[in-house]
A and B are shown apart, each in its own frame.
Chain A
Amino acid sequence: MLSARTLFTNVLRTNVASRFSSTLVIAEHDDTKLAPITLNAITAAGKLGSDVSVLVTGANASKVAEQVAKVSGVKKVLVAQDEKLKHNLPERVAPVVLASQKQFNFSSIVAGASAFGRSVIPRVAAKLDCSPISEVTEVHSADTFTRTQYAGNAVVKVQSSAPVKVITFRGTSFPPAQQGGSGAVENAPSSDIKTDSSEFISQELSKSERPDLTTAKIVVSGGRGLKSGENFKLIYDLADKLGAGVGASRAAVDAGFVHNDMQVGQTGKIVAPVGFGVIELYIAVGISGAIQHLAGMKDSKVIVAINKDPDAPIFQVSLA
């Protein structure tokens, strides 16, 4: 009897949700410009077949909101500008998302699967008692998605019955939304932001003139075979010649040759989408091709491997 009632309310809830289906994208930015992954997330959000709203939180949110309003497909931009939201700590962003959810009752709440999205999305999902879905690579319908597991070795199609679909999208799987929108900008509902639980201290971002690893058309990556940080200069020179981004294997990062944010693989950055022609060429130099590394790059259009060992697993995915 009880279960029948639960079933009934669930059905009712699903119906109501689909009738007013709408998606909230949580924007990521650095106080001056929108992070490119948010544009990929907006495209993915559009595939859920609903109105797309974008929430911009931060100390300088209004400025970023104006940029977001011009993105194609964005109906509404909610702005939460507050000094407390500087650096967008998840403990402070989550209450704003929840207040917006309470007022507008979105059927999905989504973000790009970056460090920021992966921090905020599950925290919000917990408060809504919803099972989130991470790093979606394909949207089949408003409740059916594809994602990968086991470092990209299993492609899983899932159907979510969560009352609200709380999702992160893999940026490289969706093309960025273009300019040409005229969304309405309005203030997000106010929320109680507590500031005592966490505090931002500092950040150390590595600066590079080279194309960003997740959006570069060509990537040149070095591994343990480079033997030293100095030898990575060869990789940089080749990359500059090709106008490429520079990546690295975990071994190269662990050995201290390069910075951690250059790591490509299951636990680092995923480069290489298929179908959008973003990563056209991936050149792996001195990389054996562990399962974890392949997870990050094996969808590149053309892979070139330069390696002394003819049996290196990297050759199983490379076409030279």
Chain B
Amino acid sequence: MKVLVGVKRVIDYAVKVRVKPDKTGVVTENVQHSMNPFDEIALEEAVKMKEKKIAKEVNFQLPFHPIICLASVIIHLQVVAISMGGPKSQEVLRNALAKGADKAIHIEIPDADIPKVEPLHVAKAFQKIVEKEKFDVVFLGKQAIDDDASQTAPLLAGLLDWPQALFASKVEKADEGHLKVTREIDGGLDTIKVKLPAVLSADLRLNEPRYATLPNIMKAKKKPLQKLAAKDLGVDLTPQTKTLEVNDPPVRKAGGFVEDVPTLIAKLKEKGLIKH
């Protein structure tokens, strides 16, 4: 079984972003970047599945053997990390390899084109890879914390015509060829069963991602990292959305401290916010 995990290089979640003075975007130069937190969770789940050795037995025929020879082998789960982005996305892929991915694919785009890439483009590029390399599951984060779009997983599921299980907080093996997924929805949780192949997206509470250890970081340097150019995949990268301007959110008027609870309540009453 093969699992594809999408990982995106984004501005680190702890960084306070700054909008550029010319309103064209946010400052990304010399800013700490890391793997999108939701993608770390997706990757962790895939690696955990591999470690649990979810394997299936297959009968196969040796291609050059004169007699039909049936043998039974265990195929272990293979985890492939994929990222579409500028040259620096390779750092994120190496990190994914250090955390347990077996192989990485980098769909490279020039730095200048990064702001123009939309989730639809990413989904189309991933679709090409999935169709070429025959994956059984695609695991993505539920959203990237930079564009906050939350689109790539359902877009890819739509393009492939595969079922989707979004916002997963628990993934279990169901009957042959199915996964049972518990999802975080608005009013609580729901549980669905999807037939493989399927696209999954990870929510925050799915697992605790591991840290890459130094030995594993060293080993990751020897793992295969395949490079492709987006244009070689034959994906149309024409943007359908143009950014007109990027602004800071409105600034709040500074507040003040109150000495005690009665003063707080009196102030709120004065503003008509509480009645009694």
A198 and B195 within 8 A (CB): yes
Residues of B within 8 A of A210 (CB): none
B162→A150 contact, CB < 8 A: no
Residues of B within 8 A of A201 (CB): 180, 190-193
Judging by beta carbons under 8 Å apart, are A156 and B267 in contact? no
Number of contacts between A and B (CB, 8 Å)?
232
Chain B residue nearest in CB terms to A202: B191
Inside 8 A of A134's CB, which chain B residues have their CB?
A: 148-151
| Contact bitstring A52-87, B, C-beta under 8 A = 1, else 0 | 000000000000000000000000000000000001
* Residue A193 is within 8 A (CB to CB) of chain B in the complex: no
Chain A: interface size category: 35 or more
Please name all residues of chain B whose beta carbon is closer than 8 Å to the beta carbon of A29 when the two chains form the complex: none
Is B256 a contact partner of A320 (Cβ separation < 8 A)? yes
The main secondary structure of chain B at its interface with chain A is mixed
Is B93 part of the contact surface with A, judged by Cβ < 8 Å?
no
**Residues A21-74 near B (CB distance < 8 A):** none
Report B63-100 residues with CB < 8 Å from chain A CB.
none
A260 partner residues in chain B, CB cutoff 8 A: 169, 184, 188-189, 205
One digit per residue, 1 when the CB lies within 8 angstroms of any chain B CB and 0 when it does not, for chain A 214-241 equals: 0000100000000000000000000000
CB within 8 Å of A: which of B128-168? 142-143, 145-159, 162-167
B98 vs chain A, min Cβ distance (A): 25
Q: Which residues of A contact B192 (CB under 8 A)?
A: 89, 198-201
B150 touches A320 (CB 8 A): no
B246 engages A154 (CB within 8 Å): yes
Contacts of B54 in A (CB 8 A): none
Interface residue? B52 (CB, 8 A) = no
Contacts of A303 in B (CB 8 A): 252, 255
With A126-B159, A150-B148, A320-B267: A281-B188 Cβ-Cβ less than 8 Å: no
Q: Which residues of A contact B187 (CB under 8 A)?
A: 203, 205-206, 261
A14 lies within 8 A of chain B by Cβ? no
Q: Determine whether the beta carbon of A153 is less than 8 Å from that of B242.
A: no
Q: Report the minimum CB–CB distance from B73 to chain A (whole Å).
A: 28
Taking the closest CB of chain A, its distance from the CB of B61, in whole angstroms, is 29
One of A101-109, A116-124, A173-181, A183-191 contacting the partner: A116-124
B118 at interface, CB cutoff 8 A? yes
The answer to whether the Cβ of B211 comes within 8 Å of any Cβ in the partner chain is no
Cα–Cα distance between A200 and B239 once the two chains are bound (Å):
36
In Å, the complex CA distance between A91 and B166 comes to: 12
Q: Any chain A CB within 8 A of the CB of B16?
A: yes
- Cα of A149 to Cα of B118 in the assembled complex, Å: 13
Q: Give every chain B residue within 8 A of A250 (Cβ-Cβ).
A: 204
Of the listed residues A89, A122, A319, the one surrounded by the most CB atoms of chain B closer than 10 A to its CB is: A122
Cβ of A122 and Cβ of B154 under 8 Å apart? yes
A124 to B195, CA, bound (A): 20
Provide the residues of chain A in CB contact with B241, threshold 8 Å.
131, 133, 158-162
Indicate if the CB atoms of B240 and A160 lie closer than 8 Å: yes
Contact with A along B163-188 (1 / 0, CB 8 A): 11111010000000000100111111
Q: Evaluate contact between A320 and B151: CB separation under 8 angstroms.
A: no
- Once the chains are docked, how many angstroms separate the CA of A216 from the CA of B253? 23
Q: Is A155 in the interface zone, CB < 8 Å from B?
A: yes
Closest residue to A129 on the B side, CB-wise? B120
Assembled-state Cα–Cα distance A88/B151 (Å):
19
Cross-interface CB contact of A159 among B242, B248, B254, B256, cutoff 8 Å: B242
A261 with B186, Cβ < 8 A, contacts A154-B17, A317-B252 known:
yes
List B7-39 residues whose CB lies under 8 Å from chain A. Answer: 11, 13-14, 16-17, 19, 25-26, 38
CA distance A311 to B91 in the complex (A): 35
CB distance A266 to B148 under 8 Å? yes
Q: B243 in the interface, Cβ–Cβ < 8 Å?
A: yes
> Top 9 nearest A-B pairs by Cβ distance?
A126-B158, A319-B255, A203-B190, A122-B154, A131-B240, A197-B163, A123-B158, A205-B187, A198-B163
29 contacts between A and B (CB under 8 A): A114-B186, A115-B166, A123-B154, A123-B155, A125-B151, A126-B156, A129-B120, A131-B239, A131-B240, A132-B149, A148-B148, A152-B249, A154-B247, A159-B241, A160-B240, A162-B240, A162-B241, A197-B162, A198-B164, A203-B185, A203-B187, A204-B189, A204-B190, A205-B188, A261-B184, A261-B187, A302-B268, A319-B254, A320-B264
